[in-house]
Amino acid sequence: MKNKYLPYLIGFIFLVILAAEMIGFQSLQFGSFKVSILPLVFAVFIAMIFAIPALRKGIIAKIYHKDNVDFAAKNLLFIMLPLMAYYGATVAPQIREILSVGWVFLLQEVGNLGTIFFGLPVALLLGLRREAIGSTLGLSREGELAYITEKYTLESPEGRGVLSMYLIGTLFGSIFFSLFAPFLLNFGFDVRALGMAAGMGSASMMTAASSAVAAIHPEHEEIILAYASASQLLTSFLGTYTMVFLAIPLQRFLYNLLTKGDNYDHGK
């Protein structure tokens, strides 16, 4: 069936992009620390403001109609493909330098376990139980969402946990990382390290983080984007194996250790 509300969404997108580009790249100074804000952040923020239910009246209600929301969700991957092709093309010119530190890219995969070491105890302290299994498995992106859905269904506590974090990451992930990545520059982190760290398994978050760092150091833009792209590709490839063979057993062990009495069996 034809979506009669789609023109409203397309027009709104152009207006949001125009407003964000007019605001442009902004920097905020907090004492000795400097935080850079990309137009992407303003675009996401504007779209989120108008998405508040109280404001969904008249033409705004047509823009955020369920048909448009479903269309955006289904086609997000296709919208990101040209961007991924561009990032893939940035890897080739820097391939020799990337291969020279290849072992570091493998080592950074261990970072995917950080959500379990740090996030799981906090989630349990906040009162979550089985929901903590879904909400602390990686960044709760497509791979984790697919695993939890297949294993437990989205109606389960684990499913509610992963879906909640997926939605939060979609709404706020790009904003957070576009601010946090350049903030780390104030502590002396190498731009290559931050570029590598940007490849965390989420295309939007990687774009926000790497672009924010590249905007501050345009002279290193190519190498930052190349490291981010290579890291993203590696994370996408190895992420599933890291999740299945390392993250899930570790998560089960820590859950049983910390809850003591609420024995968790991943086989259920």
Count of domains observed in the chain:
1
Q: Does residue 266 form part of some domain?
A: no
In the Cβ-directed half-sphere of 149, how many Cα atoms lie within 13 Å?
Answer: 10
Q: What are phi and psi of 98, to 5 degrees?
A: -65, -45
Per-residue pLDDT reduced to its tens digit, 24-53: 878 777 766 666 677 877 888 898 899 888
Q: How far apart are CA 155 and CA 139, in angstroms?
A: 20
Residue-level pLDDT at 154? 73
Q: Does residue 268 form part of some domain?
A: no
Per-residue pLDDT reduced to its tens digit, 129-178: 889 998 998 888 777 877 887 788 877 888 888 888 887 887 788 788 88
Q: Does residue 267 form part of some domain?
A: no
Q: Does residue 214 form part of some domain?
A: yes
Q: How far apart are CA 135 and CA 137, in angstroms?
A: 6
**Residue 30 in tokens:** 């907090």
Domain span holding position 75: 6-259
Q: Does residue 158 form part of some domain?
A: yes
Q: Does residue 99 form part of some domain?
A: yes
Residue-level pLDDT at 123? 92
Q: Does residue 230 form part of some domain?
A: yes
Q: Does residue 265 form part of some domain?
A: no
| Residue percentage of the chain with pLDDT more than 90 | 17
**Residue 38 in tokens:** 């990309």
Mean pLDDT of all residues in 95-106: 68
Would you list the DSSP string of 219-250? GGHHHHHHHHHHHHHHHHHHHHHHIIIIIHHH
Own/partner pairs for 235-240, CB < 8 Å, 24+ apart? 235/109, 235/112, 235/199, 235/200, 235/201, 236/201, 238/106, 238/109, 239/109, 239/112, 239/138, 239/143, 239/201, 240/143
